[in-house]
Structure 1
Amino acid sequence: MDFPSDEVRFAAMLAESGMRVPPEQLPSLLEGYRHMLRLIAVLGAPATLEAEPALTFTPDQR
């Protein structure tokens, strides 16, 4: 199964939203969209043990 390219998905989202973007702004917006997809992939991945902090804050109990 072939998936649509980032450009096709981005154009479809713009069309569905009704947004009108000047053609000269499309490359920078597409770059931002691709960056957002990379961030979503990183945030959705499970954290490794090395990503956990060495110390945690525990307030004094009174």
Structure 2
Amino acid sequence: MAFDSFSDWLAMGRHGVYVWTAWGVSLGLLALCVLLVRSEIRTVRRDLRRRIRRAAATNGGGQG
């Protein structure tokens, strides 16, 4: 489908509101997923570091 101008393309034949809202919601959810995964990775890494330090302290510096 060809459009005569950029504003016609944005309007999408009067369906632009629905099209761009769907795109916005989709991109927003994808961004939220990325942020939540990064946060979870940070939490897991912090927990693992704490466990390693605790195990090293319990084992006398890892010698035992």
- Normalising by the residue count of structure 2, what TM-score does the alignment of the two structures yield? 0.36
- Normalising by the residue count of structure 1, what TM-score does the alignment of the two structures yield? 0.37
- Structure showing greater radius of gyration is 2
Larger RCO (alpha carbons 8 Å, 6+ apart): 1
* Higher fraction of helix: 2
